[in-house]
Amino acid sequence: MLLSIIIISYNTQELTLACLQSVLQALKTDNKLQNSTEIIVVDNHSHDGSSKAIEKLLTNQPVKHLFLQNQQNLGFAQANNQAIKKAQGQYLLLLNSDTLVKKTALTTLINTFKDHPLQDTTANLDYQQGKLDRLGILTPLLLNPDQSVQPQGGNLPNLISLFFHMTLLDDLPIIGQFLPSTQHTGKNINKITPDQADLIQKDWIGGTAMMIRKLVVAEIGPLDPNIFMYGEDMEFCLRAKKHHWDIALCPQAQVVHYGSGSSSNHQAVLGEFKGFVYIWSKHRPAWELPWAKKLLKLGAKLRQFLFGTILNNQEKARLYQQVLSHV
């Protein structure tokens, strides 16, 4: 088995079905890949009829498939880990249910891995940093429904990258692209184009469409089950980087992402801030945590003021007021 595609479903029947149909259509363009791919769907106790609809769609498909149903919502990380344990592919694709895979995306990602064989002899050498000699995690270019480029990933967490993220300085025109930030939302994002040939190295990428060599999981373990949702992708990539695995974005493979279609924006914002606290507690020096919390509170207050006073979005302002109680 070459590829295992893992999709988590939770009350997103229409989105999940559309995602699965896009995957099936993409596999039809590559018979060899279709015959060596399995699809694993994990339903986190949906109550919108998802289970029956997914089973109906997957029945009699030429692609090997497995459908797991949980009796409670275990969250994104644990549900993915369930599938990872069952997966037989050399490569694992964690794919959000609110995505549409473009026809050549899967083949392009697999071929990119094949074009970058592992060179473990140079992977841990300081003077070889920047060389893609141990490509372990790859993401396609994420596109909005209007085909514009979507922000993806960022720099690994430290006080400097968190400072630029929380103070919104990374969003400044021109200079924002040169500032390290834990989340790349700066004005440089649209400089990436689908016809760009070169891979773009990243410190971390989102779990929206994350293809992983199974060897990475064998070495560092699966997603952190203590994270219910949001932050598990950054934490996983952080561990991978510590083990000298390279992470990159492949612009020539594209996936459309609806964004927050598989969760609410409220959950996303709260999860992001709580995820930072957890990651700092687990991976960063103890003395940094109080400073990280101060930066997170500064970021929440700044956004509360911005949405409440300047942008007149009281719902968003109230959301960031709630964030303050969690950091």
Mean pLDDT value of segment 88-116: 97
pLDDT at 127: 46
Does pLDDT of 325 surpass 90? Answer: no
Tens digits of residue pLDDT in 154-199: 999 999 999 999 999 998 888 888 899 999 876 555 578 778 889 9
According to DSSP, residue 154 is labeled: B
Residue 26 domain flag: yes
Cα–Cα distance for residue pair 217/198, rounded to 1 Å? 26
Does pLDDT of 126 surpass 60? Answer: no
Quickly list H helices, 87-128: 105-114, 120-123
Range of the domain at 210: 3-149+192-284
pLDDT at 193: 78
Decide: 273 and 296 in contact? Cβ < 8 Å.
yes
Residue 253 domain flag: yes
pLDDT at 125: 54
Residue 38 domain flag: yes
Residue 224 domain flag: yes
**Residue 203's CATH number:** 3.90.550.10
Number of other residues whose CB lies within 10 A of the CB of residue 146: 6
Structural domains of the chain, count: 1
Residue 231 domain flag: yes
Q: How confident is the model at residue 203 (pLDDT cuts 50, 70, 90)?
A: very high
Residue 22 domain flag: yes
E strands, the chain, are 3-9, 37-43, 64-69, 91-95, 99-101, 135-143, 200-201, 209-213, 246-257
